Amino acid sequence: MRTPLIAPAVTLSAGSLAWTTWSLVDLLGAGPWGITVAAGADIIWASVIWAEARSLRICGHRWPVAAIGWTALAAVAAFLVWHGIQQHHTAMAVAGPFLPLGAKVVWLLALADMRDPAALTDDDRALLANEERAMRFEEARHRHELRRREMAAERLIAEVETDFTIELARQDKDRELARRAPIAIAPITAEHETSTIAITPEQPHASERPEPAPTSTIANREQKSIADLAREHVAIHPTNPPAVDAICSIRPDADRPSVGAAVRRARQQLDARGGYR
C-alpha cells in the first residue's frame, strides 16, 4: 500500500546519509579514504531499513532485524556525538544524531502505514509454512515409496522370466531325450525261429532250384510282430495315424483296427515311460 510518509522518510534518509558521511569523513581525518567507512555505515543502515520493509525473519523471528537496525543507529549516533565533541561544538554533538534518529522513526511509521490490515500475521505465515513443509515431506515420501515398489516389481518380473526360461529349456531337453531314446525291440521268439528255419536255401523249389535266402531286412520284417512294429513306429512318428499307415503298408494283410489298437497301447507305454529304454 502507498503512504504519504514515503516522501518525508526518503528526504530524511538522504539528509541523514549526507550528514553521516561528512561527519565520519571529518572524524576519521583520512581524506577521501574515509568515504569508504562512511559509505559502509550508510549501506548497513539502508539495508536494515529495506529488510524491515520486507518483514525479513532471522530464525523465524522479526525482532533480530529490528535489533540490528537500532544497534546500527546507536553506533551512527555515537559517532556523530563524538564528532561534535571533537569539534568542541555542543549543538553539533546534541543535534547531530537527531537527523538519523528522525529518519528511523519516520521509516517505522511509513512501514506501519504500508502494511495491509487484512494481511496474514506472522503466526499465520508460520502455520502455512509448516503445512507446506509437511506437504512437501509427504510428496517426497510418496515418491520414495513408489520407487521402492517399482524396484520390487522389476525384481519379481525378472525372477518369473528366469523361471519361465528354465522351464522351457527343461521341456525342450525332455523332448530331445525322448526323441533320441533307443527303440526297444522284443526278443525273437520260438515261433519266429520256426518260421525262419522253415524258409531255408536247402529246400528245393517247385522248379527243383534252391530258393534264394531272404535278406536281413526282409527277415527282420518277417520276424517282427504287430506289437513290435507298433513300438518301433510310435517312437518314429509323433502321431498315431502315420504309424498305423506305415505298419499297414508293411503288413497289408493286417487288420487296421487291430493295428490301431496296438499303436495306441505302444503310445501309452511310451508316454508313461518317457521313451523306451
Higher pLDDT: 119 or 201? It is: 119
Query: Which three-class secondary structure string do you get for 126-153?
Result: HHHHHHHHHHHHHHHHHHHHHHHHHHHH
Q: What is the pLDDT at residue 277? A: 42
Alpha helices of 29-121 — where are they, by DSSP H? 34-53, 63-86, 90-95, 98-114
Q: Which amino acid is at 196?
A: T
Residues with Cβ < 8 Å from 123, sequence gap 6 or more? Answer: none
Q: What is the pLDDT at residue 140? A: 94
CA-wise closest residue to 65 among 44, 77, 48, 43:
48
Residue 31 three-state SS: helix
pLDDT in tens, 51-88: 777 777 777 677 787 788 788 878 888 888 887 888 77
- Is residue 19 over pLDDT 80? no
CA-wise closest residue to 249 among 259, 236, 238, 239:
259
Residue 255 three-state SS: coil
Q: Which amino acid is at 55?
A: S
Residue 58 three-state SS: strand
Return the C-alpha cell found at 222: 518277417
- Residue 1 — very low, low, confident or very high, per pLDDT cuts 50/70/90? low
Rounded to whole angstroms, the Cα distance separating 271 from 277 reads: 12
Rounded to whole angstroms, the Cα distance separating 33 from 23 reads: 13
Helix axes 63-86, 6-28, angle to 10 degrees: 50
Rounded to whole angstroms, the Cα distance separating 27 from 56 reads: 33
Half-sphere exposure of 20 (CA within 13 A, CB side): 31
Q: Which sequence spans correspond to the domains of the chain?
A: 6-119, 122-180, 190-273
Q: What is the pLDDT at residue 196? A: 47
The secondary structure of the chain in percent helix, strand, coil, rounded to multiples of 5, reads: 75, 0, 25
pLDDT in tens, 158-208: 999 999 999 999 998 888 888 877 655 555 555 544 544 444 444 444 444
Residue 204, beta-bridge partner list: 210
